[in-house]
Structure 1
Amino acid sequence: MELLKGFSDPVADAQRTFRLVLKAMSEPGQIVTFTDCPDWQPLSPAICAALLTLADRDTPLYLTPLLCNEQICHNLRFHTGVTLTEQPAEAELAVLDEAFPARLLEAFACGNSESPHNSTTLLIDLPTFTDAPPLRISGPGIEFPRTVNLPLPEAVRGYLLQRPTPFPLGLDFIFTRGRQLLAIPRTTHVEVD
């Protein structure tokens, strides 16, 4: 099994990546760019950087079957100690490929009234951050409504527009494109622009 390169400087790179992910989560719709991140195909460099930073032995990770190959799983375990799960409801982090079944979103944890933070954060790689019907986002961390043009899978677009669980419950979304990352957490209101 080939050992893939992780961060060049694991501590400093993880700290830098964490700050950028935090910026993206606290300022929804704001694109952040990673300068140093590994490229583990089929995962995007930004997803690799996020997983090397956020995943650990106490953070169960779900990967859709198209992304869960032996080399990726081995390297994630080696570099982060992460526990991989085949049960979406157990996952705190999940990486979805673009062809995931729509019903899969219903299987992830959305938190509960006592612990709304016990929900899943989904990471999805997109082909672009433009060229899609505009969505207007507003809420905490957004001073003035922003417009995003993300080519979202239809199931994700529907979820964000309809929010089937009442606030503060729900799923957090992180979208990537190459070395870029943009977040739409569950606190963000999304509507057609």
Structure 2
Amino acid sequence: MAWTTTGPHPRYCPSCGDELGDAVFDGKPRPYCERCERPIFRNPVPLARVAVIADKSVLLIERGAGADVGAWALPGGHVDANESLPSAASRELAEETGVRVDPTDLRLLGTGYLEFDDGHSLVSINYAVPRTATEGQVSAGGDAADARFFTREAIESEEPRLRASGPEQVLTAIDEYGAS
């Protein structure tokens, strides 16, 4: 059995507390506990996000908390234990924007990856849905400082700069779900 962790390279074993060394597993050096005979894999934390598309615009939130305060992103967040990715995306969308969607209406858009200076990393599973399949008025909530729609032109000009999804995925969603 292996341990998994997020964040910077761990220094001590989470089981016995001994200082960790390194050993090669799957062709890469990994933190390793000699006493427990266990490798420790550093895995990204999963996020689930939603691109809500209205006409040729996408709903984004301004991050109001966390390591990327002030950045704009698709609404979404951490996946709870025993929660499906679409359910997490739907829950986070409602928490951060007031917009509700049935998880079964979400379509997989793609994935993204973020790595922070402190060693933490996130993998984002991104979904898309037309605004017509959602309910509720847009209002920033949860850890979102702002929530609003951005046009295709704004996304193409990279203002705002998107994190964990990238403009290509969002433009694909706008093309597929946006009205002509």
TM above 0.5, one fold? no
The TM tier, using the shorter chain, reads: under 0.3
- TM-score normalised by the chain length of structure 1: 0.24
Per residue, is there more strand in 1 or in 2? Answer: 2
Length-normalised TM-score, structure 2: 0.25
Higher helix share: 1
